[in-house]
Amino acid sequence: MLNFTFWIALPAVAVYFGVCALVFVAMHLMSAEMNAIDSDRGKSAIAAAVESLVVGLAESTADEATWTEAYINTYIEPNPAWLDSVWGATARISDTYDTAILTDMSGNIIFGETSRGPVTGTLAELFSGVPQLLERLEAGIARAGDDATVSNLSRNARGAAALAGAVVHGNSGQASIPREQRRVLWLARQLDDIMLRDVATRFQLPLPRLVEVPKPDHDAMALTDAAGAAIATIDWPPRRPGDPAFAHTATIAVLVMLIIGVLIFVVLAAFRHSIKLRTASEERDWYNARYDGTTGLLSRFGLEEHIAQAIPRKRGELPVAVSQINVDGLQDIVGLYGREAANELLVALAERFETITDGEAVLARTGPTELSLARLGEDAGEKIRGFADRILAGAGEPVPVGNLKLKIGLSIGVVDAPTRRDNVGNLIRMAETAVARARETGGNHTVAYDPAIEDERRRRIELQADIRRGLEAGEFDLEYQPIIDFRTQAILGVEALMRWNRRAAGPMGPGEFIPAAEASGLIDDLGMFALRRAIEEIGPLGELKISVNVSPAQLRNPTLPQTVFATLDEWGVAASRLQLEVTESFLVSHPDRAIRLIEQLRQSGIIIALDDFGTGYSSIGYLKQFRFDRVKLDRSLVAEIDSDPVQAALVESTMIYAFAMGLAVTAEGVERREEAALLSRLGCREFQGYLFARPLRLAQLERLLQGEQALRQAS
């Protein structure tokens, strides 16, 4: 959580507040820019209004000066009364101008009248910037003649005013007036708040005022005369449109940022919760990867990690011993008493093993039915072998599980070898190889790892791969051994026997490849191949019985009956011609399922035979428990029957019991006439063995059948 706060939460909060600050700074700058733009617009508008006033006054001055009557009363017949009645009277009462002055080209006043009375002297004494205006007028006359006009703002005793001057001249083409005779009409208009208010109203401007010092919070513009000297200042209250815009957008921005802040908080909270869940999940995954949830012991990965971490990096190798202990029959306990009972059994065994090792070895659960011991150090091998012996010695003691006392078998594999950090997994695999050999060889003993076991397993795996390739390449075939009626010597049927002629390595007997196929699960494919091929090849040969061996793997397949029925239908073979031979191994491990399967097959008319009777644990009880149609006596039971009274008595009692139950009997592996004769006297009718016929290829069998048919026809 500290990492979350430091690397995620704090940066996110910092970014959030940084963005908020940037947004508000940007909004403030935009507001200030809007205010500045509006202020500049106001200044431009005020300047334009003042300029308009000055220009308007200049136009009025030009109109008053360009007048023939004024020309006559000024130059030809100078008439002060006329000047006063026209220009003086206007100055006194008009809003257009409030000052009218007539001067020569040097600015000396010839006539002067204002709204406050007459004026004398020079124009420069009344208004500022006059010398500059006179210079501009001289320059204007030089360019445009008597039509030249000048105007500008100026300052007089009353304050700022607009001042404009023009040479008085006629408008009917009079000759240019010499400089010394020229008279200049000057009109002035005083600037005041009333006039500025009228201008502001006309131009829709803020309310301006003439001031000496502008207010700090007002916009202002300085007025200058023709000489560039400041004569007055106009200020006006700024409209500041950016302020309400800022207030409006700031309100929205605050709401948006609050919403975003809430969302960020929710996202961070959810993310933090997700991280907590993920962290908890990772911790669980870490624990589950290293510890077994049932027993609390180290798992296989945890054991490998424990051993690897105990081996110093610089040392390279360290003696390590591992003992893997398989609980034989644990799956049967699951089936009988449930998974919970099996788990309690594992916990009880773990406690027993911990008591035996007394902390001198690491205990782990390395598989569904396996517990393991591991120890490092020079005495590791000796210690682990000693623990294995003690564990095996106590295997016969019942393990209390609830109200039960369960007896178990243990298969133990031991390996002892110098091991590197990166080779621990291989060491445990060696222990698994050793325990697998212990199970294969009957269990309840200890097997030490030997590389030869690996070689044998490798050969078995290669053989299984060869079987798979052989099936795909069509290398498997069938031979058929006849089943003979001893009295008539007629062929009653044949038993299909699997043959494998490997293209690369030559023939291999069933005794070698059948166990490998059973171990790999390929026996189901092989068995179905034999069933289909036998029905396909023998089906057309009259009424011969077809006897096919069925492996336990096939019997465990719930679709076997449907597959058999479909194959018979495909080739049009009656079910009564098919005999399926089963062995006791499936009967022992799954008696209830075997009874149901046998009954389902028998109901269709298929003959069920118990094969290899007399081997393993086969007993008369099987004949009673399971509803067979036939029993096949194994070669081990009938061999030397003529010279062994005990063997003969055993066979006789078996046959009597079988006949009493209505079972047919077939003697397998009969190789001597004496054996056949005695079996015949005991009541056996059907025989199979080298004495009568070896296994035959299909073509050989067909020729044999043809010869038999010819003999019958001849007789």
How is residue 394 annotated by DSSP?
T
SS (H, E, C) 58-106: HHHHHHHHECHHHHHHHHHCCCHHHHHHHHHHHHHHCCCCCEEEEECCC
SS (H, E, C) 438-451: HHHCCCCCEEECCH
Q: Which helix (H) or strand (E) holds 336?
A: helix 330-337
Q: Are the CB atoms for 627 and 598 separated by under 8 Å?
A: yes
Q: Which residues contact 466 (CB under 8 A, 6 or more apart)?
A: 502, 505
Q: Are the CB atoms for 99 and 161 separated by under 8 Å?
A: yes
Place of tokens 């043959």: 499
Distance CA 153, CA 529 (A): 122
Regarding beta strands 317-328 and 362-367, do their DSSP bridges make them parallel or antiparallel, or are they unpaired? unpaired
Q: Which residues contact 198 (CB under 8 A, 6 or more apart)?
A: none
Distance CA 160, CA 158 (A): 7
Structure token pair of residue 106:
């040097």
Distance CA 464, CA 20 (A): 72
Q: Are the CB atoms for 95 and 104 separated by under 8 Å?
A: no
**Known catalytic residue: 668?**
yes
> Which of 674, 609, 615 is CA-nearest to residue 648?
674
Structure token pair of residue 519:
């171990």
- Angle, CA 139 vertex, CA 135 and CA 142 arms, to 5°: 140
Q: Are the CB atoms for 123 and 186 separated by under 8 Å?
A: yes
- Distance set, CA 574 to CA 535, 568, 580, 600 (Å): 10, 7, 14, 16
- Distance set, CA 205 to CA 31, 197, 245, 668 (Å): 20, 9, 20, 129
Catalytic residue (choose from 113, 668, 675, 686): 668
Place of tokens 């336990």: 552
* DSSP reduced 3-state for 481: strand
Structure token pair of residue 271:
């993310």
Regarding beta strands 109-114 and 117-118, do their DSSP bridges make them parallel or antiparallel, or are they unpaired? antiparallel
> Which of 443, 447, 408 is CA-nearest to residue 431?
447
Structure token pair of residue 652:
């006789």
Distance CA 628, CA 599 (A): 9
Greatest Cα pair distance in the chain: 186
Extract long-range pairs of 22-29: CB within 8 Å, 24+ residues apart: 23/253, 23/257, 24/250, 24/253, 27/246, 27/249, 27/250, 27/253, 28/246
Entry field: residues in the chain: 715
Q: Which helix (H) or strand (E) holds 187?
A: strand 184-190
Q: Are the CB atoms for 153 and 231 separated by under 8 Å?
A: yes
Distance CA 267, CA 256 (A): 16
- Angle, CA 183 vertex, CA 179 and CA 185 arms, to 5°: 140
Catalytic residues: 668
